[in-house]
Amino acid sequence: MQQFPIFDEVTPITPTARMSAAVHGGRAKCLQRLIRLDFPVPATVALSFDAIRGIARGRMPDIAAILAAFEPGRLLSVRPSSQDPDWGGPGAVLNIGMSDAAHARLSRTIGAAAASRLYLRFVQTYAVHVARLDPETFEPDAGAPPEAALAALLSAWEAETDEPFPQDPGVQLAEVLRSMARAWEGTTARLLRQAKGAPADAGLGLVVQEMAMGVGPDESGSGVIQFVDGASGQPQVTGRYLSQSQGRDALSEARAIYLTRDERGPSLEDICPAIFDELHRLGRIGRRRLREEMQIEFTVEAERLRILDAVRVQRSSRAAVRIAVDLAEDGVIDRADAICRVDPNEISELLHRQVDAGAHRDLLVRGIAASPGAAAGRLCFTAAEAQACAARGEEAILVRRETTPEDIRGMNVARAVVTLRGGVTSHAAVIGRGLGLPCVVGASDLAIDRRAGVIVAPDGRRIAEGEIVTVDGTRGEVLAGEAATVEAALHDSVRTLLGWADGFRDIGIRANADTPRDAQTARNFAAEGIGLCRTEHMFFEGDRIGLMREMIFAEEPDDRRAVLDRLLPLQRADFAALFDIMAGQPVTIRLFDPPLHEFLPADKQGLRELAETLSLPVPEVSARVEALSEYNPMLGMRGVRLGVTVPEIYEMQARAIFEATAETARHGDPVVPEIMIPLVSAMREVELVKARIDAVAASTRAMTGVDFDYRLGVMVETPRACLRAGDIAEHAAFLSFGTNDLTQMTYGLSRDDAGRFMSAYVREGVYEEDPFHLLDTEGVGELIRMGAERGRARSPGVTLSICGEHGGSRRAIAFSRELGFDYVSCSPFRVPVARLAAAQLAI
């Protein structure tokens, strides 16, 4: 092979060598840092990404020049150095340079058996990983003495290759480098690292290092040490040490000992106290200077400590937060750095119970991960069954084709919800997130056989009602049986980190909260108010649905008013509870939005019950229900259209809000309620509703004798409202963009049906992602931008926000910041994630 001297691609690591993680990889750069800190690192040479690319294409660097960097006769190791350690790389190769001559030489210093073990290990690795020979042929005979096992492997080599085992260290090194470079280019390795987020052209560097001998006279061995617990992040010396060993053997061998002196048996601290103290000292320096918790790989060579490597400690989400906060509290990093080191999704994991990472997963079906967390329980097919199950003190998992508002009572008691239809903004998904309930939607490969009382998984397995399943809403999977879970833990360091994040954040974070329970969660997570209270959810509580149905069936406005008068005190109490919990923070109440038809029974049994309650014949009730049904209810009689045509409902809600305001003003923090009108598409709608609400406000002030203010706003969720936002803003104190309906209407894509083809659309690259999940900043975003600009031009002080399901996502927060919005509003459990993401964007 032709050889070119490309010295700049081969760099002996010295304190002053020109090196960078982007050229030589993270491991090489880290080793240079250790060398600069005077850690006892054996001589090391770094090969850059370009060098390795060249080797893969047959351009070998000057091997003699590499070897010249090391003391003659020393064994060498080669390890990968990719830009991000998470992207992996080929396994390390140790003991390069082992040959008959080296074996004879080492037999004199460390004994024949130890020398044979080193040689044996090298021949095995070289045969399997470098020459790619059959691993079984090169499996050493565990029962044979080392010398005999070695002889057997060397003759196996000759038999397989018709050549003696290579004796020249230069040849060995070149072959090792070539096999590692080629392995990195292989399809499997490429796919694996791309799955971990590596770019297609990610580079591999390699480090060649002089071996420290963990085998030999006096105390010799190898081990790893770290100073925090990877699961909790708490300070704790963790690791193992194994006498007469190499590499990371100590981590896999049962004979390895612990590091600290305690009741578990002999320790490194006992047998080598000076080495243990030195590791401690170096650990402290490493933490401070590398500004990170590192796991240190070390070798003891005849009682001398050598540091081979240091890598970032592997950590759980919980530990990631604790480590970042501890580093900042110790002044090692600053607060901004700590905030940026935690992935906001890790916070989300901590707020919900999760399937244990090590648990056995018996997958039944995959769907869309609509609300994170995990729960196990008995399979229930209806809300009533879920309620009965909960009443027996058992955990219920509600599985429905799709949920409707009627299912809310079942969802309230269920531990998790699964639907076969629907996407991330379907009813089940929205309510699931609001309640913090694990939820998988759009599990369309699952079939429900109600008659047989079973669900049928895609592999044909049938799980009967009452059997146990586990729902993993974080991954969007339903598992058979009960998988082990780990509890949620919002420990002190999360609170501390989020507190710091609030100091950097420059956009408000509110919560979408419909009930006092949601509001309390929002408050616990330090939301700065409620950005969206969907009041219709209140009408499914207790027996209110009966009153709602009576109201819907009322013939005349006066009859309707009479029923609404009975709903009034209930709504007033709802709002008073929200105001109390939110203690003076803004509360945005959206007036009634859904089509009335959603409150009516869908099955015969329900119709019969309704006929009984209303004292009407069943056919009459059926006819009325029929008459109220619409071909396209989401574009029909809902939102402000109800407000304009059946004004009594909004008037009752406004009165309830104002009376609650007056009541709270008497005993608590003063409240300025924010009333929001849904589904507006024309300015005149706002004028009409506003005039009525103003009148209700005036009459409530007169009746209660309490003076109060209120703010009237508009939910901008139709394309026309975006286009006409200028007119609309003249009558509105705030505009809140409802990105769920706005996405639905901009794309002409049904929120409830898009799940059926969404995966095909994403797979084919038609959409980058489900636009109900990831805000489409181009199309929908253009309308929002236009709405914001037009609204502001006519009413410069207008408050702007996003309150659709996208609100808590990093992308929507970044977009809202760019447009100078005042706040985003998201489900209560998303609030901590949004606080962190917003701070990261501001830093």
Q: Which of positions 497-516 make contact with ligand PEP (CB under 6 A)?
A: none
| Interface positions with Mg ion (CB under 5 A) | 717, 738, 741
Pairing of strands 734-737, 508-512: unpaired
Q: Determine, following the binding rule CB under 6 A, whether residue 739 of this chain makes contact with ligand PEP.
A: yes
In degrees and rounded to multiples of 5, residue 134 shows phi and psi of: -65, 120
| Binding-site member from 355, 429, 532, 696 for ligand PEP (CB under 6 A) | 532
Nearest-approach distance from CB 785 to ligand PEP, in angstroms: 17
Please tell me whether residue 385 binds ligand PEP under the rule CB under 6 A. Answer: no
The one of ligand PEP, Mg ion, none whose footprint includes residue 803, by CB under 5 to 8 A per kind, is ligand PEP
Least spacing, CB of residue 678 vs Mg ion, in Å: 6
Kindly state the smallest distance separating residue 593's Cβ from ligand PEP, in Å. 6
**Helix axis angle, 516-524 relative to 557-582, nearest 10°?**
20
* Of residues 248 and 720, the one with the C-beta less far from ligand PEP: 720
Distance from C-alpha of 46 to C-alpha of 25, rounded to nearest angstrom: 9
Closer CB to ligand PEP, residue 354 or residue 746? 746
- The greatest distance separating any two alpha carbons of the chain, rounded to the nearest whole angstrom, comes to 107
Q: Which amino acid is it at 113?
A: A
Size of the site for ligand PEP (CB under 6 A): 10
Which among ligand PEP, Mg ion, none contacts residue 804 (Cβ within 5 to 8 A by kind)? ligand PEP
Residue number, nearest CB to ligand PEP: 738
Supply the DSSP string of 756-787, one letter for each residue.
HHHHHHHHTTSSSS-TTTS--TTHHHHHHHHH
| DSSP tag of 126 | I
d(CA 599, CA 624): 13
717 binds ligand PEP (CB under 6 A): yes
Looking at residues 557 to 596 of the shown chain, list those that interact with ligand PEP (rule: CB under 6 A): 593
Judged by CB under 6 A, which stretch of 123-131, 143-151, 351-359, 737-745 contacts ligand PEP?
Answer: 737-745
Q: How far, in Å, CA of 661 to CA of 546, rounded?
A: 27
Query: What's the CA angle centered on 642, arms 638 and 644, to 5 degrees?
Result: 135
Least Å from the CB of residue 745 to ligand PEP: 9
Token duo for residue 335: 């607060």
Dist CA 809 CA 818 (whole Å): 14
φ, ψ dihedrals at 756, nearest 5°: -65, -35
C-alpha–C-alpha distance, residues 180 and 178, integer Å: 5
Compute the least distance from the CB of residue 421 to ligand PEP, in Å.
Answer: 17
Strand 439-441 relative to strand 462-464: parallel, antiparallel, unpaired?
Answer: unpaired
* Residue 739 binding result from Mg ion, ligand PEP, none, given CB thresholds of 5 to 8 Å by partner type: ligand PEP
Distance CA 717, CA 801 (A): 12
**Chosen from Mg ion, ligand PEP, none, partner binding at 474 (C-beta under 5 to 8 Å by type):** none
Comparing C-alpha atoms, which of 363, 330, 348, 621 is closest to residue 498? Answer: 348
When the beta carbons of 563 and 715 are compared against ligand PEP, the nearer one is 715
Which of the choices Mg ion, ligand PEP, none does residue 643 contact, using the CB cut-off of 5 to 8 A by kind? none
Give residues 282-321 in contact with ligand PEP (rule: CB under 6 A).
none
Whether the Cβ atoms of residue 388 and residue 446 lie closer than 8 Å to each other: no
Nearer to Mg ion, 425 or 474 (CB): 425
Contacts of 276 (CB under 8 A, 6+ apart): 259, 260, 267, 268, 269
SS3 305: strand
Give me the amino acid identity at 394: E
How far apart, in whole angstroms, are the C-alpha atoms of residue 537 and residue 546? 14
Minimum separation from the CB atom of position 831 to ligand PEP (A): 16
Cβ distance to ligand PEP smaller for residue 429 or 440: 429
731: annotated active-site residue: no
Among 116, 172, 317, 740, binds ligand PEP (CB under 6 A): 740
803 tagged catalytic: yes
Q: Which is nearer to Mg ion, 536 or 741 (CB)?
A: 741
Q: Can you tell me the distance from the alpha carbon of 221 to that of 249, in angstroms, rounded to the nearest whole number?
A: 10
Among 272, 380, 439, 803, the one annotated catalytic? 803
**Span of 324-332, 561-569, 650-658, 739-747 interacting with ligand PEP by CB under 6 A:** 739-747
Token duo for residue 802: 């996003």
Q: Which partner from the list ligand PEP, Mg ion, none does 532 bind, CB cut-off 5 to 8 Å by kind?
A: ligand PEP
Closer to Mg ion by CB, 638 or 790: give it: 638
Q: Please report how close the Cβ of residue 725 comes to Mg ion at its closest, in angstroms.
A: 16
Stretch that binds ligand PEP, among 139-147, 298-306, 688-696, 738-746 (CB under 6 A): 738-746
Query: Which of 323, 306, 109, 100 is CA-nearest to residue 221?
Result: 306
How far apart CA 373 and CA 135 sit, in angstroms, is: 42
Q: Which residues pair with 379 in a beta bridge?
A: 397
Name which of 379 and 533 has its Cβ closer to ligand PEP: 533
* 8-state DSSP, 237: E
Q: Is 214 helix (H, G, I), strand (E, B) or coil?
A: coil
Contacted entry of ligand PEP, Mg ion, none for residue 534, CB cut-off 5 to 8 Å set by kind: ligand PEP
Identity of the residue, 80 or 643, whose beta carbon is nearer to Mg ion in the bound complex: 643
Hey, what are 77's tokens?
């190791």
CA distances from 532 to 523, 587, 786 (A): 14, 8, 22
Instruction: Pick between residue 593 and residue 648 the one whose CB is nearest to ligand PEP.
Output: 593
Q: What's the 3-state SS for 387-398?
A: HHHHHCCCCEEE
Q: How far is the CB of 679 from Mg ion (least distance, A)?
A: 7
Our finding on whether 322 is near ligand PEP (CB under 6 A) is: no
Q: Which of 24, 103, 129, 427 is catalytic?
A: 427
Residue 842 Cβ vs ligand PEP, minimum distance, rounded to whole Å: 25
Cα four-point dihedral sign 765, 770, 776, 780: positive
Judged by CB under 6 A, the stretch of 256-264, 351-359, 720-728, 732-740 that binds ligand PEP is 732-740
Give the full edge-to-edge strand order of the sheet including 462-464. 447-449, 454-456, 462-464
- If we measure between CA atoms, which residue out of 352, 523, 494, 317 comes closest to residue 432? 352
What is the Cα–Cα distance from 370 to 437, expressed in whole angstroms?
A: 10
Backbone angles phi, psi at 420, to 5 degrees: -85, -30
Beta carbons within 10 angstroms of residue 439's beta carbon: 34
Residue 239 or 787 with smaller CB distance to ligand PEP: 787
- Per-residue contact flags (x/-) with ligand PEP for residues 779 to 808, judged by CB under 6 A: ------------------------xx----
Shortest distance, position 323 Cβ to Mg ion, whole Å: 41
Residue 689 interacts with which of Mg ion, ligand PEP, none, CB < 5 to 8 Å by class:
none
Q: Does 738 bind ligand PEP (CB under 6 A)?
A: yes
Give 292 or 717: the residue with its C-beta nearer to Mg ion: 717
Which of Mg ion, ligand PEP, none lies near 349, with the C-beta cut-off 5 to 8 A by kind? none
> Which of 741, 790, 791, 835 touches ligand PEP by CB under 6 A?
741
- Residue nearest Mg ion (C-beta atom): 741
Stretch that binds ligand PEP, among 171-179, 184-192, 735-743, 828-836 (CB under 6 A): 735-743
Q: Which residues contact ligand PEP (rule: CB under 6 A)?
A: 532, 534, 593, 717, 738-741, 803-804
Catalytic residue numbers? 427, 803
